[in-house]
Amino acid sequence: MAKYRVLAITTKYWRPRENYLEEILESVKGKIGDGDFIVISEKAISTASDHIIDENTVKPNWGAKLIAKYWMRIVWSYFLGPLCHFRGRLLHYLRKYPLEMGSRHKQVALQYAGFLQALMFGSEGGIDGSNLAYSYVSLPLNDAVGIAEEIRKQIWLKLGKKVSVMIVDTDKTFSFKNFHFTHRPKPIEGIHSFGEFIAYVLGRMFKLRKRATPIAVVGCKISVEEALEIAEIANRSRGFGAGRTVWDMAETFKVGLNEVSWEMLETVKHKPIVIVRAKR
């Protein structure tokens, strides 16, 4: 029997420099009660905060070019991908990994996430290009806890509701019994971040339980297991917007990988906020 009631809230697409705090307050007004969890997408906040990079402005070095040409097209598509049980379509995409765009992307990963993160097949260190326009990618939040606390505080001051706020990334946390680990940097306390792409490969290879990663929880004290459960429930109810990956997004709109516009993204349902309520 389900332990939670879930309401995913559809909002307009949050473009860069959007007042996301105002959007959150307006979206949850009249829908929340004391004790609810407000679960928010990290990528949506990063985009609205203009914490993004236009990869078209980046000049890749030789290391980034080597990663794109050999590591992605050969190692991931023929060795690591099958080891991680990737489906045929994703393996096909990796075998045709775009060299020019991919090199610029890997340069951003090297600069902002480091070498071992750049060896991931995507979402390197929390860097993500899905559901963003053109050649933009979002960066992980620097102070997710502080942002979550400000959202919680404003909900209390403006709406008079005592809620907990969680910020979540779709990057996976893997669980082996009571041990939880992720390749993603800076998860909540109790989730171990190590190994970069190696942690991801191990989790996928052994088909460990995988769930969305909470990167901030404020307003209450809960176990890591409960945080992961709420994060994954919210993630599933939110959906994937224009697509799980940049390839899926381009296919949705029938355009090239760097041709998706902000206007196209605005035609798709976006659900950056999910209200999760424990059944009483």
Express each pLDDT in 111-145 by its tens digit: 999 999 999 999 999 999 999 999 999 999 999 99
Structural domains for the chain? 4-49+141-278 (3.30.1330.100), 53-138 (no CATH)
Q: Where are the beta strands (DSSP E) in the chain?
A: 4-11, 37-41, 52-54, 136-138, 164-176, 179-182, 192-193, 209-218, 270-278
Q: What is the pLDDT of residue 1?
A: 44
Residues 6+ apart with CB under 8 A from 151: 21, 24, 38, 40, 165
Q: What is the pLDDT of residue 200?
A: 97
| pLDDT over 90 at 14, yes or no | yes
Query: What confidence category does residue 2 fall into, taking pLDDT thresholds of 50, 70 and 90?
Result: low
Task: Note the pLDDT tens digit of each residue in 219-247.
Answer: 999 999 999 999 999 999 998 888 889 99
* Helix (H) or strand (E) run with residue 83 in it: helix 81-83
Task: Note the pLDDT tens digit of each residue in 84-117.
Answer: 999 999 999 999 999 999 999 999 999 999 999 9
